[in-house]
Structure 1
Amino acid sequence: MIYFDSAATTFQKPPEVSAAVKEAMATMSSPGRGGYRSAMLAADTAFACRSELVELYHLESPEQVVFTMNATHALNIAIKSLVPPGGRAVISGYEHNAVTRPLAALGAKVDVASGSLFHPEQVADAFDRLIVPGVDAVICNHVSNVFGFVQPVEEVAALCRTRGVPLIVDASQSAGILTLDLPALGAAFIAMPGHKGLYGPQGTGVLLCGSQAPVRPLMEGGTGSLSIQQEMPDFLPDRLEAGTHNVPGIAGLLEGVRFIRRVGADKICYHERLLARQTALGLSALPGIRVYARPDLAHQAGVLSFTAEGHDVEQIASALGQQEIAVRAGLHCAPSAHRQAGTLESGTVRVSFSHWNTMGEVEQFLDAMRRILQ
């Protein structure tokens, strides 16, 4: 199978990841629940994973790393820590439902910083106009999950710092590919999945907490600490980590992050962009295809979308699937992004890459597209 759906989940993982999951299942119990060997191994693994993420994102302390089930879980914690019911938020026009649905559930007043696709200066200008007194939080994804659009997170962070408004960054499509410096940004939170660019298992996610970020538990329960009191501990990460940890997942995530640090996020990003550029060029040469990318792929990561005149995007994806090529079609849980790009009615076919994909796979994909269009 040719797997071009890494924006959903990276299917191909470093071999160390699955080995670590299997080893954890055989040797580890729960961290913080005992002083015996299997509990201590679990605690050491969790701490090692936090420490690797500290290095990757330039954090001050491992306690700033909170394990979650996925990025959606992390974003819900972050949003509900900052935005009260009926509060006010400013978001980009390219946000995922993991941002917009929690805000809708809160009944929040939401202002959208709209900007044309691959024009970060327009997005930054829109945020500049909308970040005003009374805003509870600003939320911006680093990379659009539909179009691969790299948004001006650094510029938005500077506006937030100047105006004293907390920032939440959704790094679902950039974690492991584009790095961020949390202290330099001054962001309150950065949310990310473990199962995409960090090459961890499904069911893993991370919330990075700024040193001054106010945190509100999404759930209450056991933490292995301060068991006598009936309120959640007031310190991280325990305050946000109720219940038993996904230790096998954390063990796999640890090896995924180690892989990223060993290979280098910049090299992975460069490889994915080369694949995206070759794919965009090849698709653009086919009749009736519209590729959502600039010719130089400026401000774009290794994710791109396209449509084909006269062809339903779901049918294209199904036809590719019958040829053992995995892509995703539709709205990609991000109707706001499609609204910005004018593809809300049709949706798009999305092609997304990872470290493991090759130029040969791109050529096979393009050959398959030629057959489908004919």
Structure 2
Amino acid sequence: MIYLDSAATSFQKPETVGRAMETALREMSSPGRGGYPAAMRAAQTLLDCRTELAELFHVPEPEQVVFTMNATHGLNLAIKSLIPYGGRAVISGYEHNAVTRPLAALGADIRVAAAPLFEPDMTAAAFDKAITPDVDAVICTHVSNVFGAVQPIEQVAALCRERGVPLIVDASQSAGVLPLDMTALGAAFIAMPGHKGLYGPQGTGVLLCCGRAETAPLIEGGTGSVSIQQEMPDFLPDRLEAGTHNVPGIAGLLAGVRFVRERGLEQICLHERKLALRASEGLRSIPGVSVCARRDLFAQTGVLSFVPEGQDAELVGNALAEAGVAVRAGMHCAPLAHRTAGTLDSGTVRLSFSAFNTPEEVDRFLAVLPEALRGRTA
């Protein structure tokens, strides 16, 4: 199988990830529940993972790194900490349902800072117009999960700092790929999955929290700390981490983060971008395909979409699966992004690369695509 769906989950993992999870299952229990060796090994693993993540993303203290189930969990924590029912939020035109659905559930007044694809200056101008002092929070994805377009997060962050409005960053597609400095951005929260660019297992995620940001637990329960009181602790990470931790998952995440740091963000990103550019150039030579990409190595990451003109994107995706190529097709849980880009009616076929893909796999995909396109008229 040629796996080109790492924007959903990085399927190929470093071997160290599986080994770390096996070790955790054999040698670790639960942190904060005892002073015996198995519990202490678990506690040290969690601390090591928080420390590595804090160093990678320039978070002042490891305690500001909160473990979640996934990025969606983290985004819900962040959004519901900052935005009251009926509150006001500004979002980009490329947000995932992990942002728009919690806002809808809150009955929020949503302002969309919409701009065309691959137009960062226009995106920044749209945020400049939309961010006013009455806004409860700004939420911006760093990279579109559908198109790989890099958003001008530094400019958006500067506007938020200038106007005193808290910023939530969805780093689902950028964590482990692009540099991300929480201190420099001044973001209130940055949410990310563990199972994509950080090469950890599914069921892991991270929420980076500014020490000054208000936090509201989604669930309450045991934390192993201040057990006598019936309110959740008022300090991080305990305030947002009720219940038993996913210790094998966090051990695997730690191994994935170490892989990223050893390989280097720049090397990983350049590799993925070169593969995306190779694929987009090849797609342009295939009749009946409209490529949603710029001929620019730095306009996007290793995620790109194309529209099979006059055909059903999901049927083309199924045909590619039958040919041994794993892609994702359809709406990608991001109808707002498709509406903004003008692909809501058609959907797209999305390719997404990781550190483990090769140029030869791109060429093999391009070779089988014409056959997948034949006879797939909607």
Pairwise same-fold verdict (TM > 0.5): yes
CA distance in 1, matches of 2:47, 2:303: 32
Q: Secondary structure at the match of 2:267?
A: helix
CA distance in 1, matches of 2:9, 2:53: 19
Match for residue 247 of structure 2?
247
Q: Secondary structure at the match of 2:66?
A: strand
Match for residue 314 of structure 2?
314
1:197-244 per-position Cα deviation (integer Å, ceiling 9, x unaligned): 000000000000012111111110000000000000000000000000
CA distance in 2, matches of 1:287, 1:266: 34
Q: Secondary structure at the match of 2:168?
A: strand
| Residue 153 of structure 1: how far off its partner (Å) | 0.4
1:346 is matched by which residue type in structure 2? S
CA distance in 1, matches of 2:190, 2:299: 20
Match for residue 207 of structure 1?
207
Asked if structure 1 preserves the Cα contact closer than 8 Å seen for 2:53 and 2:65, the reply is yes
Asked if structure 2 preserves the Cα contact closer than 8 Å seen for 1:151 and 1:299, the reply is no
CA distance in 2, matches of 1:98, 1:228: 35
Match for residue 123 of structure 2?
123
| Residue 4 of structure 1: how far off its partner (Å) | 0.1
| Residue 156 of structure 1: how far off its partner (Å) | 0.2
Match for residue 338 of structure 1?
338
CA distance in 1, matches of 2:34, 2:357: 43
Asked if structure 2 preserves the Cα contact closer than 8 Å seen for 1:142 and 1:150, the reply is yes
Cα RMSD after superposing both structures = 0.7
1:88-109 per-position Cα deviation (integer Å, ceiling 9, x unaligned): 0000000000000000000000
Q: How does 1:28-67 map to 2 (within 5 A)?
A: 28-67=28-67
| Residue 373 of structure 1: how far off its partner (Å) | 3.2
| Residue 296 of structure 1: how far off its partner (Å) | 1.7
2:96 is matched by which residue type in structure 1? H
1:119 is matched by which residue type in structure 2? E
| Residue 136 of structure 1: how far off its partner (Å) | 0.1
1:227 aligns with 2:227: yes
CA distance in 1, matches of 2:241, 2:74: 11
2:139 is matched by which residue type in structure 1? I
1:285 aligns with 2:292: no
- In the superposition, the TM-score normalised over structure 2's length comes to 0.98
1:249-275 per-position Cα deviation (integer Å, ceiling 9, x unaligned): 000000000000000011000000000
2:198 is matched by which residue type in structure 1? L
1:326 is matched by which residue type in structure 2? A
1:205 is matched by which residue type in structure 2? G
CA distance in 2, matches of 1:98, 1:65: 20
CA distance in 2, matches of 1:106, 1:310: 38
Structure 1 residues without counterparts, runs of 5 or longer:
none
Asked if structure 1 preserves the Cα contact closer than 8 Å seen for 2:93 and 2:115, the reply is yes
Asked if structure 1 preserves the Cα contact closer than 8 Å seen for 2:138 and 2:168, the reply is yes
CA distance in 2, matches of 1:360, 1:281: 14
2:42 is matched by which residue type in structure 1? A
CA distance in 2, matches of 1:193, 1:119: 26
CA distance in 1, matches of 2:372, 2:133: 53
Match for residue 258 of structure 2?
258
CA distance in 2, matches of 1:264, 1:250: 21
Match for residue 268 of structure 2?
268
2:131 is matched by which residue type in structure 1? I
Match for residue 145 of structure 2?
145
CA distance in 2, matches of 1:309, 1:223: 53
| Residue 298 of structure 1: how far off its partner (Å) | 3.8
1:153-187 per-position Cα deviation (integer Å, ceiling 9, x unaligned): 00000000000000000000000000211011000
Once the two structures are overlaid, the 10-residue window that deviates more, 130-139 or 302-311, is: 302-311
2:62 is matched by which residue type in structure 1? P
- In the superposition, the TM-score normalised over structure 1's length comes to 0.99
1:89-148 per-position Cα deviation (integer Å, ceiling 9, x unaligned): 000000000000000000000000011000011110000001002100000000000000
Asked if structure 2 preserves the Cα contact closer than 8 Å seen for 1:304 and 1:352, the reply is yes
CA distance in 2, matches of 1:150, 1:139: 15
Structure 2 residues without counterparts, runs of 5 or longer:
none
| Residue 371 of structure 1: how far off its partner (Å) | 2.2
1:25-76 per-position Cα deviation (integer Å, ceiling 9, x unaligned): 1111101110001000000000000000011011111000000000000000
Q: Secondary structure at the match of 1:39?
A: helix
Match for residue 80 of structure 1?
80
1:234 is matched by which residue type in structure 2? D
- How many residues align structurally? 374
CA distance in 2, matches of 1:304, 1:184: 28
Match for residue 179 of structure 1?
179
| Residue 297 of structure 1: how far off its partner (Å) | 4.0
1:15-34 per-position Cα deviation (integer Å, ceiling 9, x unaligned): 00001111101111101110
Match for residue 218 of structure 1?
218
CA distance in 2, matches of 1:298, 1:62: 31
CA distance in 2, matches of 1:229, 1:179: 40
Moved over 4 A (4+): none
| Residue 279 of structure 1: how far off its partner (Å) | 0.1
Asked if structure 1 preserves the Cα contact closer than 8 Å seen for 2:177 and 2:269, the reply is yes
2:149 is matched by which residue type in structure 1? F
CA distance in 1, matches of 2:62, 2:366: 45
